[in-house]
Amino acid sequence: MSGKDRIEIFPSRMAQTIMKARLKGAQTGRNLLKKKSDALTLRFRQILKKIIETKMLMGEVMREAAFSLAEAKFTAGDFRWRVDDIRGKLG
């Protein structure tokens, strides 16, 4: 520990009281920051869980959509021109 890390202070009761107050303030600040960090970590994990669930659901939806498209192509053949025709009439 170098001399730069130390606070130059005259050893007296008043200085001790001041340093105790500073220490108490630093500990309180650290505890508040720790609580905030824990709350943010918890919120982050909740959001991450929701993202994972949504991705899994999206995979299932895409799988079902691909199967429905294959089913439609099998029953109706190539129907792109019909979709383009209907879309042209609408817009």
How many residues does the structure list for the chain?
91
Q: What is the pLDDT of residue 91?
A: 64
Distance in angstroms (rounded) separating the CA atoms of residues 26 and 85: 72
Q: What is the pLDDT of residue 6?
A: 83
Residues 9-31: pLDDT tens digits? 889 999 999 999 999 999 999 99
CA–CA distance from 33 to each of 30, 38, 41, 45, 46 (Å)?
Answer: 5, 9, 12, 18, 20
Domain borders along the chain are 12-90
Bigger pLDDT: 34 or 78?
34
What are the residue ranges of helices labelled H in the chain?
Answer: 13-76, 80-90
pTM, whole model, 2 decimals? Answer: 0.59
* Res. 1 pLDDT band, cuts 50 70 90: low
Contact status, residue 62 vs residue 55, Cβ threshold 8 Å: no
* Res. 85 pLDDT band, cuts 50 70 90: confident
Contact status, residue 15 vs residue 9, Cβ threshold 8 Å: yes
Q: Which amino acid is at 36?
A: K
